[in-house]
């Protein structure tokens, strides 16, 4: 069973310069690999969209990152 890659800091580009932006790829892909399936969950619906089930599974991680960045309660 494959686990989701760890959350990484934004690399070069707009996301690194603007703390309000997060690179979505960093939440989905490892440095050189973008998995097709993680923990029996399909990751991508197509080339530009996450599968709904994976987006739902990723929401706690994204929520924690947004809370950390914006100090939300």
Q: What is the pLDDT of residue 10?
A: 47
Cβ atoms 66, 72 nearer than 8 A = yes
Q: What is the pLDDT of residue 64?
A: 86
Tell me if residue 32 falls in helix, strand or coil: coil
- pTM of the predicted model, to two decimals? 0.58
Q: What is the pLDDT of residue 42?
A: 93
Q: What is the pLDDT of residue 56?
A: 92
**pLDDT of 5 over the 60 cut:** no
pLDDT digits 0-9 by tens, 9-66: 445 555 455 666 666 677 788 888 888 998 899 998 988 888 999 999 989 988 887 7
Cβ neighbour number for residue 54 with a 10 Å cutoff: 20
């Amino acid at each position: 069973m494959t686990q989701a890659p760890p959350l990484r800091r934004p690399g070069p580009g707009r996301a690194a310069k603007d703390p309000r932006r997060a690179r979505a790829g960093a939440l989905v892909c490892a440095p050189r690999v973008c998995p097709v399936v993680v923990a029996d969950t399909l990751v991508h619906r197509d080339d530009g969209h996450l599968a709904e089930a994976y987006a739902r599974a990723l929401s706690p991680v994204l929520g924690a990152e947004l809370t950390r960045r914006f100090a939300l309660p």
